Structure 1
């Protein structure tokens, strides 16, 4: 009797702020991992990503979870504190569940909502999405090799 192999699935979380830029990370991610293997989840903002990442990772359905956000200085709060909390939370979600959780969260110091900056960051998010997908595949392959039976 042959063991049925399941096709690995990946979760991708997108923060809603600056969606026209953040969504480009998903474009890059699905250039590497086929879209039919990626489940996409939207959250209001970056701060909500760690909880969603932990919950998705805990289901056991995903080889990895990627989370994308653009956290900018809005002049009202210290965006660096939010960004640090998000990255720490994503790392903890991965460590707590044993499922890799990857951050595609950027915190530019000089973002302005101009066509020029939007184009620069949108292109950068495509590249960061590709890098996250490559990292997800690499870490999954390495982890699978740790549990593969010796021949």
Structure 2
């Protein structure tokens, strides 16, 4: 399972952060688990100022994440799932969403939690969705990564202009 080697990070106080979660709607059961995991992470880290925005699919995550990152949020969490089918569509959507989310983080300086599941099967997605029978909770993990990165950035000097 891909979670092997993951750090065991206890929640820290992130109560001063303002966080946006942008989540796709395809594969409702998986997405409900990912969003619930993100909300659990926000709660565990004391984040009270947060908003969740839903978009049609994973391809739409970067444009909305970009708008949110430019709107004063300290971190953005992007959640989606793409399951391989019989056409190259999988590769195109995965690459576009991944590249777009990376670009959002680099262009804005706002951390983007990467909660985009790219799976060969629906079962793999369910195993990572943070549901009762799941072995991983990628919504929680992506949110925690964004929060901890926001705290790390807060402790760094401002970039030179």
Q: Which residue of 1 aligns with 2:78?
A: 67
Q: Which of 97, 108, 115 is the equivalent residue of 1:86?
A: 97
Q: Which runs of 5+ in 1 are unaligned?
A: 1-5
Counterpart check, 1:58 vs 2:70: yes
User: Does residue 127 of the first structure (1) align with residue 137 of the second (2)?
Assistant: yes
Change (3 A) 1:91 1:125: farther
What CA deviation, in whole Å up to 9, does each residue of 1:78-136 have, x standing for no partner? 30221011000000011111111121111111x14xxx667434335961111112212
- Which stretches of structure 1, 4 residues or longer, exceed 6 Å deviation after superposition? none
TM-score for both structures, normalised by structure 2 = 0.75
Supply the RMSD in Å over aligned alpha carbons: 2.3
For the pair 1:20 / 2:32, whether they are aligned, the reply is: no
CA contact (8 A) 1:63 1:140 kept: yes
Structure 1 residues 38 and 119 mapped into 2: Cα distance closer, same or farther (>3 Å)?
same
- Structure ranking higher on relative contact order (CA contacts 8 Å, 6+ apart): 1
1:49 aligns with 2:61: yes
Please give the TM-score of this superposition, normalised by the length of structure 1. Answer: 0.80
- Secondary structure at 2:137 match in 1: helix
In structure 2, what is the equivalent of residue 3 of structure 1? none
- Which has the greater radius of gyration? 1
Structure with bigger helix share is 1
SS at match of 2:76: strand
Report the count of equivalent residues. 138
